Amino acid sequence: MDLAELTAGIAAAMAGAKDRGQVASYIPELAKVDPAQFGIAIATADGGLFTGGNADTGFTIQSISKVFALTLALGKVGDQLWERVGREPSGNAFNSITQLEYEHGIPRNPFINAGAIVVADVNLGGHQPRVAIGEMLRFIRYLSGDDSIRVNQAVAASETTTGHRNMALAHYMSAFGNIRHPVDLVLGTYFHQCAIEMNCRQLALAGRYLMLDGHHPEGGRVVSPRRARRINALMLTCGHYDASGDFAFRVGIPGKSGVGGGILAIVPGRASIAVWSPGLNDSGNSHLGTLALEELAQRTGWSVFSPAS
């Protein structure tokens, strides 16, 4: 299998697609992004890196940051985290508040917004948001081997100005005692982590520890094999919000999407894949990114449900 040729072919096919989805208009800065873009990068377990399209164009990773935030939080408090956030698919939109009322302020999983806000509260750890964001940036730079990764301050400001539903989620959980720091500090952390800007190449490299059972490819351990597998499991079951089941059905590998149009997908033992196209489908996931991953999975046979993968 020629991954270079396959990657280039998928990028070319996506570049010619007519239906590109709709950009996230509720965050003003994201609404400005040109939807006529698509990038893909595949980092393989043997050290290969294959790119196509706009693989070097930066975008804010948005909810993909929740994977790295969860990794850090589990490193701080371990399984105690699961006393404050669940591990079940939500079946609702990523910013839904309805389940919190029924479940007494305990979010269903760490990848919906409410759950990620609890994770941000854990990572804040009594410090100011700049300290928590600095820690996350150092972690992502270490994973990707790239010190140029930064927060897009314009996007962070845009999210802070318009993030009323996230504010409601945080205040509601605070009323149940599930937010331990001042809400404005927690949300400052959350909005800035979502505004971290990366490109497909950097993101695919950053995801390699989940491909390699918790190991950093250049030596050392990021997380235990058990924890890496469990993070991958959550990505498969919860990584695409109320479309997680459909993504598992169509693509068959763990993945985490973001409303910036990116998706990080993991083939354990084989590949860490990043795709990006800013147009979203009705569930808030990248339309072309999902199609590209489906095509890639079909062409390679990569699937957690296939013994051949």
pLDDT at 55: 98
Whether residue 305 is contained in a domain is answered as no
Distance of CA 114 to the CA centre of its chain: 15
Return the SS3 of 215: strand
144-180 tens-digit pLDDT: 999 999 999 999 999 999 999 999 999 999 999 999 9
Whether residue 308 is contained in a domain is answered as no
Whether residue 306 is contained in a domain is answered as no
Phi, psi of 60 (to 5 degrees): -80, 135
Whether residue 278 is contained in a domain is answered as yes
Q: State the average pLDDT over residues 225-233.
A: 98
Claim to verify: residue 10 and residue 108 sit in the same structural domain: no
Q: Which residues are annotated as a binding site?
A: 63, 113, 159, 166, 190, 241, 259
CATH number at residue 70: 3.40.710.10
pLDDT band at 14 (very low <50, low <70, confident <90, very high): very high
Whether residue 307 is contained in a domain is answered as no
Residue 141: pLDDT over 60: yes
Claim to verify: residue 9 and residue 68 sit in the same structural domain: no
Q: Which residues are annotated as a binding site for substrate?
A: 63, 113, 159, 166, 190, 241, 259
Whether residue 91 is contained in a domain is answered as yes
Claim to verify: residue 105 and residue 217 sit in the same structural domain: no
Claim to verify: residue 151 and residue 190 sit in the same structural domain: yes
Range of the domain at 126: 63-196
pLDDT at 81: 98
Whether residue 26 is contained in a domain is answered as yes
180-192 tens-digit pLDDT: 999 999 999 999 9
Whether residue 309 is contained in a domain is answered as no
Claim to verify: residue 44 and residue 110 sit in the same structural domain: no
Claim to verify: residue 131 and residue 187 sit in the same structural domain: yes
End-to-end CA distance of the chain: 13
pLDDT at 90: 85
- Measured CA to CA, the distance from residue 165 to residue 187 in angstroms comes to 11
Phi, psi of 303 (to 5 degrees): -170, 140
Last residue of a domain, one of 165, 196, 227: 196
Claim to verify: residue 273 and residue 153 sit in the same structural domain: no
Task: Count the domains in the chain.
Answer: 2
233-274 tens-digit pLDDT: 999 999 998 899 999 999 999 999 999 999 999 999 999 999
Claim to verify: residue 213 and residue 283 sit in the same structural domain: yes
Claim to verify: residue 135 and residue 71 sit in the same structural domain: yes
Last residue of a domain, one of 196, 222, 237: 196
82-134 tens-digit pLDDT: 999 999 998 777 777 888 888 899 999 999 999 999 999 999 998 999 999 99
The candidate with the shortest Cα–Cα distance to 39, out of 48, 50, 51, is 51
Active site residues: 63, 66, 190, 241, 259
Q: Going along the chain, which residue ranges are E strands?
A: 39-44, 49-53, 59-60, 150-151, 196-198, 255-257, 262-267, 271-276
Claim to verify: residue 95 and residue 186 sit in the same structural domain: yes
Whether 20 and 13 have beta carbons less than 8 Å apart is answered as no
Claim to verify: residue 123 and residue 159 sit in the same structural domain: yes
Claim to verify: residue 105 and residue 212 sit in the same structural domain: no
Last residue of a domain, one of 137, 168, 196: 196
Question: Residue type at 279?
Answer: G
